[in-house]
């Protein structure tokens, strides 16, 4: 019995995982609430960054768009991932008038080979890492679950960002409040 479990374990860890690798990625705009830098931290590191990597061994170009504007064109390969600083106010905003409306914020990344894309937002002692699922995330129905925090505090927040890539898209929110836990 132990040999069978060992074989199943080896088989499962040998499967190549590439669920988030794709030729296109999107990052929705984000409302940034961090407006007061903390003097005790090195705030010079603050910023929005893209991390791009791939399993493909040869060089290829990834184009980074904001709306219809090409922000940057970069080359990546398996041995040379890229860490790219994104100009402020491209994917994040501190302006409440930028929220809940059609706009041109956000990022669209396109490459000829599959690659991974992560958005890293650094603000003093805080950081967010958002991973794009690529074309696998394109669709019409999405479910989001946010677990309840055991400790209630104004500093504990959850956020959902949705980017509509087609005209006349409608987004609606339905809250399902669990009555009991498993």
- pLDDT tens-digit map of 74-115: 999 999 999 999 988 888 888 877 777 777 778 999 999 999
Beta strands in the chain (DSSP E): 22-27, 30-31, 47-53, 60-66, 69-76, 82-86, 92-93, 107-123, 126-131
- Which pLDDT does position 5 carry in this prediction? 61
3-state secondary structure of 122: strand
- Which pLDDT does position 128 carry in this prediction? 82
Q: How far apart are CA 122 and CA 130, in angstroms?
A: 12
Global pTM reads 0.73
CB 130 within 8 A of CB 119: yes
Residues of the chain with confidence (pLDDT) below 70: 1-19, 35-37, 141-165, 171-182
Backbone angles phi, psi at 5, to 5 degrees: -60, -40
- Which pLDDT does position 147 carry in this prediction? 66
Q: 64-102 burial, b for 16+ CB within 10 Å, e for fewer? A: bebeeeebbebebbeeeebeeebeeebbbbeeeeeeeee
**Residues 6 or more apart in contact with residue 112 via CB below 8 angstroms:** 23, 60, 61
In angstroms and rounded to an integer, the radius of gyration of the C-alpha atoms of the chain is 19
- Which pLDDT does position 150 carry in this prediction? 67
Q: How far apart are CA 56 and CA 105, in angstroms?
A: 29
Show the domains of the chain with their CATH numbers: 18-137 (2.60.290)
Q: How far apart are CA 116 and CA 50, in angstroms?
A: 10
- Which pLDDT does position 14 carry in this prediction? 53
Among the listed residues 61, 122, 51, 54, the one whose alpha carbon sits nearest the alpha carbon of residue 88: 122
């Amino acid at each position: 019995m132990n040999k069978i479990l060992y074989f199943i374990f080896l088989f499962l860890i040998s499967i190549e995982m590439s669920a988030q690798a794709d030729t296109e990625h999107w990052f929705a705009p984000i409302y940034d609430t961090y407006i007061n830098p903390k003097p005790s931290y090195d705030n010079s590191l603050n910023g929005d960054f893209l991390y791009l990597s791939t399993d493909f061994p040869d060089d290829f170009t990834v184009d980074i768009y904001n709306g219809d504007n090409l922000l940057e064109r970069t080359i990546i390969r398996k041995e040379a991932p890229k860490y790219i600083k994104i100009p402020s106010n491209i994917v994040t905003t501190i302006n409440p008038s930028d929220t809940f409306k059609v706009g041109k914020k956000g990022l669209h990344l396109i490459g000829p080979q599959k690659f991974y894309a992560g958005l890293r937002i650094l603000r003093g002692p805080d950081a967010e890492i958002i991973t794009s699922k690529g074309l696998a995330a394109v669709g019409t129905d999405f479910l989001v679950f946010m677990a309840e925090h055991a400790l209630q505090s104004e500093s504990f927040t959850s956020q959902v960002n949705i980017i509509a890539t087609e005209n006349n898209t409608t987004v609606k929110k339905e809250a399902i409040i669990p009555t009991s836990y498993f």
